[in-house]
Amino acid sequence: MSDPTGSGGIEGQPGRNLPPLRLHVPEPPARPGESADFTHFDIPAADAAPRPDEAAQPDAMRDMAYGLIRVLDEDGAAVGAWNPKLPPETLLRMLRTMALTRAFDARMFRAQRQGKTSFYMKSTGEEAVSIGAALALSRDDMCFPSYRQQGILLARDWPLVDMMNQIYSNKGDRLKGRQLPIMYSARDAGFFSISGNLTTQYPQAVGWAMASAARGDTRIAATWCGEGSTAEGDFHSACTFASVYRAPVIMNVVNNQWAISSFSGFAGAESTTFAARAVGYGIAGLRVDGNDILAVYAATRWAADRARSNAGPTLIEHFTYRVEGHSTSDDPTAYRSAEESSLWPLGDPIARLKAHCIGLGIWDEDRHAAMDKELAELVRDAAREAEKNGILGHGLHHPMESMFEDVFEEMPRHLKEQQQQMLDEWKAAGL
């Protein structure tokens, strides 16, 4: 019998002369004890990326998903077509909010280590991603965050004490201890409830954006997820709906190189960029230096203008680095080189903006040191105030019967009966 497949075997049977198949398992560039190496990253000049028109067709800007939008160069100057040319007061507000976020993270991390709360997640090195976007959006645009976007709340001037009450799950916690610490919810700040289930916020954001368009509103939605979460089905469902209905939504992928203990290659980083996920869906895709807050601001503003003009959604990949562990439950030294964070080629977002402001003559080292001291004291005082409402495991809890509340507008009969049964048993036990 002839071999029409050219495989060296009989049709329908495997070829005997072919080499065995091999499964590719991604490996990070460096493991613990090895030298970190980022030479494989292609980092273009800060002024290299063109700025397409906000109404451009996605297929006309395909290359934007493979480049890297940068504004701040190696000398701290703002250059190129994406330079948003912000006034000094906005630049200093950005700098202060990033520094506040870092001070907040440091205090809450320490509180977890002291046993005052069970869990915390820092955003060190990623502050520009949330704060740059928050300041580019309108105050009433709806944000559907993941669990490392606390900077959005701080950029929208949400009270520190309220956030800390939630982390401590104390009597001042508006969520009544029902959410894992750091999973905030603040409707008045346009901040949708954070979920521990990966990427559920993506279809929710797209659905909210579709509803806004159906109502003839002017508000848009923005959502965030990590690069690993792009492997979730919810991500792809959201992209389909966003593309088909041209939903006014910005979909942010925070590529910080690492999931809990696996590097971005397991989500597809070895094959292509995460911004390239947009290409197959016919969505505008941008890839941004996530440690350059001016680039984040400019890309978000571009995407927001595009959404508001009914030109459709945008997917933005923020190329950044997670400096700390995934959470307080994680030890990154177990799976990555200890020197990686110090060698990250795109630097620190706070240091880069500080250098830019100093170069403009609107800032200096002494004022920066004074600001850091002021913010540390501000966060300390807020923590002391929140701790008056209690800390995890030390009394001042919500009443037991409250666990049945806030599910229905009016509690149904069967829940009232269960609530009363619990209270009766609680009383009979002398508790």
Residue 247 has pLDDT above 90, yes or no: yes
The structure tokens listed for 118 are 């069970």
Q: How far is the CA of 388 from the CAs of 116, 175, 271, 392, in angstroms?
A: 12, 17, 51, 12
Average pLDDT for 326-333? 93
pLDDT computed for residue 222 by the predictor: 98
- Which pTM value belongs to this model? 0.93
**In the structure, what pLDDT confidence band is assigned to residue 89 with cuts at 50, 70 and 90?**
very high
pLDDT above 90 covers a percentage of the chain that reads 84
pLDDT computed for residue 269 by the predictor: 87
CA neighbor of 48 nearest in space, from 222, 342, 295:
295
pLDDT computed for residue 264 by the predictor: 92
* Residues contacting 247, CB < 8 A, separation 6+: 206, 209, 210, 213, 221, 241, 312, 313
45-84 b/e with 16+ CB inside 10 Å = b?
A: ebbebebbebeeebeebeebbebbbbbbbeebbbbbebbb
pLDDT computed for residue 9 by the predictor: 56
**In the structure, what pLDDT confidence band is assigned to residue 262 with cuts at 50, 70 and 90?**
confident
Spacing of C-alpha 32 from chain mean position: 26
User: Dihedral angle at the C-alpha atoms of 103, 106, 112, 113, nearest 10 degrees?
Assistant: -150
For the stretch 342-401, pLDDT in tens is 999 999 999 999 999 999 999 999 999 999 999 999 999 999 999 999 998 776 678 888
Residue 159 has pLDDT above 60, yes or no: yes
Average pLDDT for 145-169? 97
